[in-house]
Structure 1
Amino acid sequence: MPLFNVYPLYDVTPVSGKGVYVYDEKYTEYLDLYGGHAVISIGHAHPKYVEAVRSQVEKLGFYSNAIQNPLQTQLANKLETLSGCKDYQLFLCNSGAEANENALKLASFKTEKSRVIAFKNGFHGRTSAAVAATDNKNIIAPINAQQKVTILDLNDIDAVKTELEKGDVCAVIVEFIQGVGGLDEATAEFFEQVDVLCKINNTLFIADEVQSGYGRSGKFFAFQHYNVTPDIISIAKGMGNGFPIGGILIHPSIEAKFGMLGTTFGGNHLACAAGLSVLEVIEEQELINNVNEISCYFLKLAKTIPQIKKIKGKGLMLGLEFDFEVGELRKKLIYDYQIFTGGAMNKKLLRILPPLTVKKDHINQFFEALVDALDEN
């Protein structure tokens, strides 16, 4: 049976990983500065992570959410402590798309309204409401387009105010650093005014932290760079270091009711064990400090390369913008220099999303390769 051919694939077959490196079937070593779309947060095959998953699967890999699961409570408490999101409630699911889907559904339940405001170049997932709020017509099927979504420009606060005052908007959803769209950010004034306007107009403010969360921006969450209080925070990617897990953090003002949300696999024992180990490693190895240190070093080196026209993002969620499309450069970095990087909807942007454990030597390796690759063009 053939696979459904929806992915353009590079001719590389990783079979193992260790730290910031992956290895193919010929034992070729690749420096991973993309982390499988920002998923690998604490490094490939981190020993604490491996032991947590191994130990849990030996005991109990799964049971439904109809029973007590103390691991969920442990994960919630650890997340509250490290994130600083005091008194928020946690609902666990399986992916970023599912997290945003549940966030939007919960906003509609709470406000009894149905329209969503999202922003140009935003990406929130591929499930029905989440993809409708995504600014990419190529991935929105007619069944998704039935959702009521208004896409606005970042930083256009007047447009946000006008739409909110119509009284039918249940949620404003935003990435504080856009991922797939190309690392664009709004101003602090914009984010903070949107937060205020949402509260005035009985609209929930959803922070999509699926890619930027868990320390990647230099703070635990990217919204924490600003004076805002999201009603719902969606999380996934780096949350499980490769194990499928997602969730939403829900403000204490939102009351739960039996049956309001649900999932079969969300918050299963294995996922919680993986998620707990990630938080423990972030804390024990002080990885957010490492993010900020390595980010400063990365920016310092990037500014010395004249072909780089703009540096975007924060922490270890970074983009290098050129005056040419970077598709061939990415191929050269993979095939000639054995370095994984990422692309974006902005075809001139090279995305850098390494494990949070990355060191200066790895950054040196990247920039040496980048300079050589650019000189060959």
Structure 2
Amino acid sequence: MKLFDVYPLFDINIVKGKGCQVWDENGTEYLDLYGGHAVISIGHSHPHYVEMISEQVSKLGFYSNSVINKLQQQVATRLGVISGYDDYSLFLINTGAEANENALKLASFHNGRTRVISFSKSFHGRTSLAVETTDNPKIIAPINANGHTTYLPLNDIEAVKAELSKKDVCAVIIEGIQGVGGIKLPTDDFFKELREVCTATKTVLILDEIQSGYGRSGKFFAHQYAGIKADIITVAKGIGNGFPMAGVLISPMFKAVYGMLGTTFGGNHLACAAALAVMDTMEKEHLVENAALVGAYLIEKLRTYPQIKEVRGRGLIIGMEFEEPIKELRSKLLFEQKVFTGVSGTNVIRLLPPLCLSIKEADVFLERLEKVLKQQP
């Protein structure tokens, strides 16, 4: 049997990682500014993380959610404090798409409405409801095209007000910062007005912080720059530093009903150990503050390069937009300068490094980037 051909793969087999570095099977070292697609939050192979998972698996790796798992409550309590949402409830699952799927179902159960507002260039996942709210026709299968979602331009509050006036929208779902869409930022004013109109129309406001959350923006959640609170927040990626885990933070206005939601693997013992290790490390090493500091430094430096059309982002979620397609530039960065980066569309390079990235490592990247940019016509 062969693997189903889903991704175009670079001919590199990564076998080891430490901090912001990874190594391939030939011993070649790379600077990781991609973080496995924003997943690596505290750095590769962090000693405390390795210790916590190893200790847990030596005792118990998994048991079902039909019995008490005290680690889950520890995760909920810690996450409430560190995120500023300590009065919310937490539902633990496995993936970001699953988090958004459950968030949308909760919203519809809550108010009985069937329509959703999403935004141009949004990405919320590949499962049924999540993909229907993702603005990419190429990945919406015919079976998912049910017409529940209306896409609006980002930051157009008048368009939102017009749709919500129809009183049939159960939820507005929006990313704290659009990742796949090119690192596009909702403005603080837009967020504030969006919160107001959702409250006025009894529409559930869902903040997808799967890529932009967990400290990556320089605040715990990117929407916190606007000083608002969401009704539901979805998290994944950085929560487990590579161990599959996700969560839905749920406002007290929602009441739990047995049988409405459920999961087999969500919040398992190993996942909780990983999540606790991540929060321990984030607090001890001040990684949210580091993301804000190093991210601001990188953005300021990148904006001095005339070859870059625009630099967007906050903290360590950064997009560099070029006039021309960046496929060759990204390839040179990887194979000539040994730097992993991400992409958004054809013209944007995405930086999503571990939150432990240092100023020194940022300077290494800038030096290597300059070498590639000097080769550009």
TM-score for the superposition, normalised by structure 1: 0.98
Q: Deviations over 1:25-56 (max 9, x none)?
A: 00100100000110000000000000111111
Call closer, same or farther: CA 1:147–1:95 in 2, change over 3 Å. Answer: farther
Counterpart in the other structure of 1:237: 237
Q: Is the 8 A contact 1:62 1:268 kept in 2?
A: yes
Distance in 2 (alpha carbons) for counterparts of 1:275 and 1:227: 26
In the TM superposition, residue 147 of structure 1 has moved relative to its aligned partner by: 4.7
Counterpart in the other structure of 2:372: 373
Counterpart in the other structure of 1:307: 307
Please identify runs of 4+ aligned residues in structure 1 that moved more than 3 A: none
Which segment drifts farther, 124-133 or 146-155?
146-155
Amino acid at match of 1:376: Q
- Does residue 352 in structure 1 map to residue 347 in structure 2? no
In the TM superposition, residue 306 of structure 1 has moved relative to its aligned partner by: 1.2
Counterpart in the other structure of 1:10: 10
Question: Could you say what secondary structure the match of 1:143 adopts?
Answer: helix
Q: Deviations over 1:266-302 (max 9, x none)?
A: 0000000000100110000011111111112212321
Amino acid at match of 1:367: L
Counterpart in the other structure of 1:63: 63
Distance in 1 (alpha carbons) for counterparts of 2:303 and 2:102: 41
Distance in 2 (alpha carbons) for counterparts of 1:215 and 1:27: 31
In the TM superposition, residue 2 of structure 1 has moved relative to its aligned partner by: 1.3
Q: Percent identity?
A: 55
Question: Could you say what secondary structure the match of 2:142 adopts?
Answer: coil
Q: Is the 8 A contact 2:176 2:213 kept in 1?
A: no
Distance in 1 (alpha carbons) for counterparts of 2:199 and 2:299: 37
**RMSD (CA atoms):** 0.9
Counterpart in the other structure of 1:184: 184
Counterpart in the other structure of 1:111: 111
Counterpart in the other structure of 1:24: 24
Distance in 1 (alpha carbons) for counterparts of 2:323 and 2:364: 23
Gaps of 5+ in 1: none
- Does residue 93 in structure 1 map to residue 93 in structure 2? yes
Q: Is the 8 A contact 2:118 2:133 kept in 1?
A: yes
Aligned residues: 376
In the TM superposition, residue 186 of structure 1 has moved relative to its aligned partner by: 2.1
Counterpart in the other structure of 1:264: 264
Q: Deviations over 1:77-119 (max 9, x none)?
A: 0001111112010000001000000000000000111110000
Gaps of 5+ in 2: none
Distance in 1 (alpha carbons) for counterparts of 2:6 and 2:113: 35
Distance in 1 (alpha carbons) for counterparts of 2:166 and 2:64: 42
- Does residue 250 in structure 1 map to residue 246 in structure 2? no
Counterpart in the other structure of 2:78: 78
Counterpart in the other structure of 1:364: 363
Q: Is the 8 A contact 1:165 1:201 kept in 2?
A: yes
Counterpart in the other structure of 1:130: 130
Distance in 2 (alpha carbons) for counterparts of 1:105 and 1:368: 47
In the TM superposition, residue 304 of structure 1 has moved relative to its aligned partner by: 2.4
Question: Could you say what secondary structure the match of 2:342 adopts?
Answer: coil
In the TM superposition, residue 176 of structure 1 has moved relative to its aligned partner by: 2.0
Amino acid at match of 2:367: E
Counterpart in the other structure of 1:198: 198
Distance in 2 (alpha carbons) for counterparts of 1:221 and 1:301: 24
Q: Is the 8 A contact 1:91 1:247 kept in 2?
A: yes
Q: Deviations over 1:106-133 (max 9, x none)?
A: 0000011111000000000000000000
In the TM superposition, residue 65 of structure 1 has moved relative to its aligned partner by: 0.7
Distance in 1 (alpha carbons) for counterparts of 2:294 and 2:194: 31
Distance in 2 (alpha carbons) for counterparts of 1:147 and 1:68: 40
Amino acid at match of 1:355: P
Distance in 2 (alpha carbons) for counterparts of 1:109 and 1:147: 18
Question: Could you say what secondary structure the match of 2:366 adopts?
Answer: helix
Q: Is the 8 A contact 1:34 1:341 kept in 2?
A: yes
Question: Could you say what secondary structure the match of 1:323 adopts?
Answer: coil
Which segment drifts farther, 276-285 or 295-304?
295-304
Distance in 1 (alpha carbons) for counterparts of 2:175 and 2:285: 27
Counterpart in the other structure of 1:222: 222
Call closer, same or farther: CA 1:262–1:292 in 2, change over 3 Å. Answer: same
In the TM superposition, residue 309 of structure 1 has moved relative to its aligned partner by: 1.6
Counterpart in the other structure of 2:163: 163
Distance in 1 (alpha carbons) for counterparts of 2:81 and 2:36: 27
Q: Is the 8 A contact 1:129 1:147 kept in 2?
A: no
